Amino acid sequence: MIHIRRHLVSDIPLRVQWLNNPHVNSYLRDTNECTTIQKEKIWFQNYLKSPHKKFFTIYSYSHPIGFMGLSHITKKSADLFILIGEEKYHGKGLGKKSFQWLLDYGFQKLQLDTLRLCVFQKNIPALHLYTSLGFRITKKTRKEIFMKLDKKDYNGAGGKI
Ligand SMILES: CC(C)(COP(=O)(O)OP(=O)(O)OC[C@H]1O[C@@H](n2cnc3c(N)ncnc32)[C@H](O)[C@@H]1OP(=O)(O)O)[C@@H](O)C(=O)NCCC(=O)NCCS
């Protein structure tokens, strides 16, 4: 059972814990640099000022397990991100359920036409997640894959297209 609420300043310690978890962050960035409470406070201050970002905290029952969101939101499109920060919750279908919620939010609530994302080629769980929801590859670099999903190609009920 997942529950989703808007991302709050009080989530900063969890962001730090999740983003610094080596079992979770290995395909998130190229450097081994850790984040800190101070860096996440700055991220949050900028986030609260930005009309182009919307982030959410994901719960499994009463346990916060990760976060996800949209950034670079325009009238037509946005970029997506998801992180299940508690690794014991990986592989249980919660990432997919949460991401479906985020797709519905983008396409139905925000009325966007296109949702995009970027994923490291080695991030097999994330690639499976995105392809299973109908995302198509638009570009590949040596390390990254860029994908998009158009509203017209998403049926809103599990992405079976
Ligand atoms: C990527 C991530 C969100 C997936 O969430 P999850 O809850 O573990 O994934 P789910 O259990 O919902 O599975 C989603 C799909 O991926 C597949 N999958 C999950 N883990 C997998 C693995 N280790 N290997 C292969 N496929 C896998 C599932 O079979 C499922 O596909 P299906 O619906 O066709 O059966 C999660 O692993 C995560 O947060 N990783 C760390 C952060 C990250 O890499 N975020 C993505 C940045 S681009």
For the segment 22-66, what is each residue's pLDDT rounded down to a tens digit? Answer: 989 999 877 778 999 999 999 999 999 999 999 999 999 999 999
pLDDT, one tens digit per residue, over 57-70 is 999 999 999 999 99
* Percentage helix, strand, coil for the chain under 3-state DSSP, each rounded to 5: 35, 30, 35
**Ligand 1 pocket, Cβ-based, cut-off 6 angstroms:** 24, 27-28, 66, 82-84, 90-96, 119, 123-126, 128-129, 132
Q: Is residue 149 predicted with pLDDT exceeding 70? A: yes
Report yes or no on 149 lying in a domain.
Answer: no
73 lies in some domain: yes
Judge whether 119 lies within some domain. Answer: no
Mean pLDDT of 134-145: 96
CATH assignment of the domain containing 22: 3.40.630.30
Gap from CA of 129 to ligand 1 centroid (Å): 5
CA of 49 to the centre of ligand 1 (A): 31
Residue 155: what pLDDT? Answer: 75
Predicted structure pTM score? 0.95
Residue of 137, 132, 100 lying closest to 116 (CA atoms) = 137
Structural domain of 31: 2-111
In a domain, 83, yes or no: yes
Atom of ligand 1 nearest to the CA of 24: 41
> Residue 154 falls within a domain, yes or no?
no
Please count the structural domains in the chain.
Answer: 1
In a domain, 128, yes or no: no
- Give the pLDDT of residue 157: 54
